[in-house]
Structure 1
């Protein structure tokens, strides 16, 4: 078996991105076609991922290595979109079966084992991640959402990029209207529901704050009602077992001032912690102390007779309260 010198191997690895390179690059570095073929044989140290694309190891490729191979194979001008473009930015989504590649209509490239091809006249200007061309977050989310049939996963595709501050709900609406309308009905309906819950970047910051707080996970975007089902107020985060609410919206950002007015909630026995949303950006340690202290106080008193309804998927309606206990006891 042809064995390049150790110095040559170091050069080859340095020239590869994520351990993936092309036959053309290898030949430019002095590796002959026969040497490439020999090293890619079964049991050899390299592996051929796609025609002309080489993994400089014999193991199973990682998802990022597959993305790199798909980009090399479909270049020039191709862009990674869909779930993989979001995951590359840190959005915690389950991987899709195939990498979604966008190419121009005139390209003759065919899909392969681990990626699909979508020809579009609207190939976006990519955002580069160490050379990987990624579709902008709103485009990636909408491209993935058009293909999704599971309602829970569809909601994640549209809300998580907002939580992570990658785009806004308005960005998603604009992208949806700009593209092909095929497969958009379910996406449009889910976006309406996302709008109705008011899920924002602040929720993501709030989740980061709570990661350091020793409290059970709350419900999000909750409407609080009396036993006659009349709305008293709303909480951005809610611990139903102790009737504790956390509000970090303001009169400027909330859909209505009445929704965040704590007076009616306090009169009903609800304990409310209010936090200026600007403090969320700094993950203020005082917030953790305030929430922990409020939870302890709430747990000491008798839970008030109220009902609470989550507005987040599965988009509860007024006949599906968070708590199913006998509140009149």
Structure 2
């Protein structure tokens, strides 16, 4: 059979040795020797050229090696979900048993997680992909960056990641530690903010309230809202601001505040912790400035 016909029977030029034999190539490994026209990708898997394989060809070969029912997880699945995961390995979950090789990780899963097709490949959910990717990491900073990106891009929530890490606890110590630290950092920042507002006698009962304009259009949900003067206080944690899209969202939020006539004070948790006196001065000045102009026509709304 001509090579063009073999390529037509392959998937992106990737084909099993068994399929080649059934198509009249009795010993395909002879063509995979050094200098040969083909190359061996995995045991029983052949690429019908000897040049560098594309990432899609590598993934196709990994799934062919893994067998029916296999799904992609880990860093590769994260990247295909639009998340900036590190790691060259291809991590595949399988219903049976098989051995990986090189940067191919084959892991038996029972039960198999749900999967969806993205660009022709079966991927686990973003939650499962993030948790499995973090299982291969050793750096808390890398794990934090990936988890923060998943949350900021709306692929995951802290609750869904926590549930996934609880369901699949093997090797998830780093994930659970990062989620715990992020949750602690947010709660500590809010505690410090409440304490400071009481200390400088700018108390407010409106924390995480939803603000809308006169027409009911949602403007924002500031960490603290001083309703008497229309002043918003945002404790902007760096933990969830890693990419340009996150920066754009912050700018868009501030633009909505400005368009509605709302003054906003932005504070990093580290400044709140290390320089509370400076933050207190900024907050009091902003409150005086807000009180000196007409209060904007905005109100607190209940969101169901």
Cα deviation per residue 1:224-281 (whole Å; 9 max; x = unaligned)? 998x996989xxxxxxxxxxxxxx994599997662558779699xxxxxxxxxxx9x
Q: Give the aligned partner of residue 129 of structure 2.
A: 140
CA displacement at 1:83 relative to structure 2? 0.9
- Residues 80-95 of structure 1 correspond to what in structure 2 (within 5 A)? 80-94=72-86
Q: Give the aligned partner of residue 12 of structure 1.
A: 6
Q: 1:174 to 1:21 in 2, by over 3 A?
A: same
Q: Give the aligned partner of residue 179 of structure 2.
A: 191
Match of residue 62, structure 2, among 52, 70, 75: 70
Q: Which runs of 5+ in 2 are unaligned?
A: 187-192, 213-217, 234-244, 283-304
Find out whether 1:49 has 2:14 as its counterpart: no
Match of residue 273, structure 2, among 308, 315, 318: 318
- Residues 268-279 of structure 1 correspond to what in structure 2 (within 5 A)? none
Q: Which runs of 5+ in 1 are unaligned?
A: 199-222, 234-247, 269-279, 299-305
- Residues 1-329 of structure 1 correspond to what in structure 2 (within 5 A)? 5=2, 8-9=3-4, 11-28=5-22, 30-34=23-27, 36-94=28-86, 96-104=87-95, 106-107=96-97, 109-179=98-168, 181-195=169-183, 250-251=210-211, 259-261=224-226, 290=255, 308-310=267-269, 318-319=273-274
Q: 1:191 to 1:258 in 2, by over 3 A?
A: closer
Q: Give the aligned partner of residue 214 of structure 1.
A: none
What TM-score, normalized to structure 2? 0.62
Q: 1:186 to 1:15 in 2, by over 3 A?
A: same
Cα deviation per residue 1:262-304 (whole Å; 9 max; x = unaligned)? 8779699xxxxxxxxxxx9xx99x959959x99xxx9xxxxxx
Tell me how far apart the structure 1 counterparts of residues 102 and 201 of structure 2 sit (CA, whole Å).
53
Cα deviation per residue 1:117-171 (whole Å; 9 max; x = unaligned)? 3233232122223442222111111122233221111112222222233232222
Q: 1:40 to 1:287 in 2, by over 3 A?
A: same
Q: CA RMSD in A?
A: 4.6
Q: 1:258 to 1:90 in 2, by over 3 A?
A: closer
Higher helix share: 2
CA displacement at 1:115 relative to structure 2? 1.2
